[in-house]
Chains A and B, each alone.
Chain A
Amino acid sequence: EIVLTQSPGTLSLSPGERATLSCRASQSFSNNYLAWYQQKPGRAPRLLIYGASNRATGIPDRFSGSASGTDFTLTIRRLEPEDFAVYYCQQCGPSPQFTFGPGTKVD
């Protein structure tokens, strides 16, 4: 089973700053199978990025994803007040054991 490690656990930033969130996989897999989600307190998660670098429908272009080997990065170019939330990376297919990272809180 692939294990995802996210860092840092908490990222303390201010509006307007750049956020860089890391997700490292315990073994390599296709970049097509990495997604990022945003979750606010008391709300369901929202898909931000799929296939490591593709923005989901309606996601602002200040969100971007990239990949290098087993290292994946979510970048928020300029934080807006509504971006303060918990972010999860997730390994998708092809194995039907879809695992999430532990999350990074941006506050």
Chain B
Amino acid sequence: QVHLVESGGGVVQPGKSLRLSCAASGFTFSASVMHWVRQAPGKGLAWVAVTSYDGTNEFYADSVRGRFTIARDNSKNTLYLQMNSLRVEDTAVYYCAKDLSSGWPPLGTFDSWGQGTLVTVSS
């Protein structure tokens, strides 16, 4: 079955950087569109970014465009989120999620989720 495990979260100061990872197994990662979705403490869900199966295409939410970069290494079955210029409002649990469809442009329906990793941006 699909298994997604995020890591790399922690406490970081505003303006600093952090890289999240998501290790995938149980499905053909290299053929799958992958997303990052976040959830601020006690709040709702917010989509962050998506990458195509081969990493050549990506889209970002307006709130993170220019600061965050989504990437993948299909040889390692791993998805990444490089987060730069972090802000207090980026504090959230970050989930990686698999798209129901492998096509592009992405369908944006998330059929499998990891357990999430908490990022806290605080001075």
A contact residues vs B (CB 8 Å cutoff): 33, 35, 37, 39, 43-47, 50-51, 56-57, 88, 90, 92-94, 96-103
Contact = CB atoms under 8 A, between A and B. Distances in A.
Q: Specify the main secondary structure of chain B where it touches its partner.
A: loop
B99 to A, nearest CB: 9
Interface of B: 44-47, 50, 59, 61-62, 95, 100, 105-116
Contacts, number: 61
A39 B108 CA distance: 18
7 contacts: A33-B108, A35-B109, A43-B115, A46-B113, A51-B109, A56-B111, A92-B109
Contacts of B111: 47, 50, 56-57
Contacts of B108: 33, 90, 92-93, 96, 98
A100 B106 CA distance: 16
A35 B41 CA distance: 23
Given A44-B95, A45-B113, A96 B44 contact: no
